[in-house]
Structure 1
Amino acid sequence: MLRDSIAPLTSPTGSIQTPTTQQTTVRLSASGDHPTVLTDIYKESVNIAIWKRELDADLQHLTNEFLANNPKFQKSVSVSPSDAFAALEYATDGLAPKALLQNIAELVDMFCCLFELDYAGLRLATLESAMCPRFHTDKVPCRLVTTYSGVATDWLEHDVVDRSKLGHGSNGLPDSESGLHQSETDIQRLTCGDVALLKGEKWIGNEGGGLVHRSPSVASGENRLLLTLDFG
């Protein structure tokens, strides 16, 4: 079980301490090919932890079939580790492959274990265009994202971002022209299958350090299957 690979270190909503002295914010990425890397999200200096996961070929094939047959599928449900599979099977009208539902249920179990949650807010959606095309941060403690098919999430390292250019600070200019970042080579992209924890602005002590990210551009005629998990 994936649950055996990770365990909570401390609560992100109450036990992580806000620094008592004003210091320059340093935020880094952590990545690895084992799920234990996700526990690095508890490190104050880390605002994205990436489990570089390769999806099984059979799972990819079944997922792509589901995506082709359900190009407009979108569901948001609250799930617990004990009922995630059944809730997803009901939400997908029994049409989604069981291998996909089991894989998602294991991530729900891992996510809830890591953050000591009874429930997680789950969103599973097929997307044919960028859902959030501008770079932004999330006003949440932490969000899990993974792409089961298609292109995955774009993100920026903390030290290449001019945060004054986020949102209205862009003065209506595209991110590529506003000065938010200096070069297209600054843009990082997750790989399909990767499981990433994105630390948000509401993680205690992470104000001004939430991961800057966006939905990727999707080519005409293509789509992607995205899963997100949030604190329930």
Structure 2
Amino acid sequence: MKIDFAHSHFTHSPAKSPAAAAIAVTEPEALAAILRPEVQLAFWTREPASAPVLDPGAIDWSAIDDIAQTIDPALAPVEALLADAGFPAGPAVRALGREIAGLASLLARIARCDEVRLRLEVIESDACRKFHMDWVDMRLLATFYGPGTQWIEVNAERNGGADAPVHQLRCGEVAIFKGRLAVQEPQILHRSPPITGTGVTRLLLAIDPAG
């Protein structure tokens, strides 16, 4: 599916200058700023209290299966997917289900697609440890437990950004990254934070437009 970034009906204003490759927004619908041609990362700097809070003592991460599904956000029973994956019943997991369903619907509206590819993964290693840009049009990422995704803003001369300052999303923040299918010259690269050998666990949500 090819997304028309130049002719979007979304008109939300970014929090930074129009020329910025990475911009912070203060409400979820404003993530549609990712459709601006010059923007390669839009992230929602939400209040921590508005994000789902998971009790680490209530979840045995080793018993949780990863979720990978193509869904219609209007119909998908996300809470049932969480239950099937081994998440325990309770208010926190119900809130997580509502959050995931809402974000899936949000990305579908922004990308103007009927279905999305949803992945919810328990990560205990350095997955995607090198800074990169995904081979998609766009991807929504949110970490609901553990450290958030790291990103850098680079110039072409920096040869992949080895000298660029490293930024990190907070747990619960929601970001949409443009992918390589939509970008001729990458300015924003991202990676999973290094956690191998630390005993740290992450719960990462990734959602892509599917059609």
Instruction: Using structure 1 for the length normalisation, give the TM-score.
Output: 0.73
1:121 paired to 2:111: no
CA 1:14–1:50: 2 relative to 1, 3 Å: closer
Which whole-Å deviations, capped at 9, do the CAs of 1:173-205 have from their partners, x for residues lacking one?
A: xxxxxxx3225xx111111111000001111xx
Please state how far the C-alpha of 1:213 moved relative to its aligned partner.
0.9
Q: Contact (CA 8 Å) 2:3, 2:111: kept in 1 or not? A: no
Q: Contact (CA 8 Å) 1:142, 1:200: kept in 2 or not? A: yes
Partner Cα separation in structure 2 for residue 77 and residue 46 of structure 1? 28
**Aligned length in residues:** 193
Correspondence list, 1:209-224, <5 A: 209=186, 211-218=188-195, 220-224=198-202
Partner Cα separation in structure 2 for residue 139 and residue 210 of structure 1? 14
Partner Cα separation in structure 2 for residue 157 and residue 58 of structure 1? 26
Runs of 4 or more, structure 1, over 6 Å off, are none
Equivalent position of 1:23 in the other structure: none
Equivalent position of 1:228 in the other structure: 206
Instruction: Using structure 2 for the length normalisation, give the TM-score.
Output: 0.80
1:45 paired to 2:38: yes
Please state how far the C-alpha of 1:88 moved relative to its aligned partner.
2.3
1:190 paired to 2:169: yes
Please state how far the C-alpha of 1:36 moved relative to its aligned partner.
3.0
Which whole-Å deviations, capped at 9, do the CAs of 1:29-52 have from their partners, x for residues lacking one?
A: 110221133011111111000001
1:31 paired to 2:24: yes
Equivalent position of 1:106 in the other structure: 102
Partner Cα separation in structure 2 for residue 152 and residue 58 of structure 1? 13
SS in 1 for 2:46: coil
Equivalent position of 1:181 in the other structure: 162
Please state how far the C-alpha of 1:207 moved relative to its aligned partner.
1.4
CA RMSD of aligned residues (A): 2.6
Q: Contact (CA 8 Å) 1:135, 1:213: kept in 2 or not? A: yes
Equivalent position of 1:80 in the other structure: 72
Greater percentage in helix: 1
Q: Residue type of the partner of 1:75?
A: I
Equivalent position of 1:69 in the other structure: 60
Q: Contact (CA 8 Å) 2:138, 2:209: kept in 1 or not? A: yes
Q: Contact (CA 8 Å) 1:162, 1:181: kept in 2 or not? A: no
Please state how far the C-alpha of 1:27 moved relative to its aligned partner.
5.7
Q: Contact (CA 8 Å) 1:27, 1:209: kept in 2 or not? A: no
Partner Cα separation in structure 2 for residue 222 and residue 15 of structure 1? 37
CA 1:85–1:133: 2 relative to 1, 3 Å: same
Consecutive unaligned residues of structure 1, counting only runs of 5 or more, are 1-10, 18-25, 167-179
SS in 2 for 1:102: helix
Q: Contact (CA 8 Å) 2:141, 2:176: kept in 1 or not? A: yes
Q: Contact (CA 8 Å) 1:123, 1:227: kept in 2 or not? A: yes
Consecutive unaligned residues of structure 2, counting only runs of 5 or more, are 8-18
Partner Cα separation in structure 2 for residue 57 and residue 108 of structure 1? 17
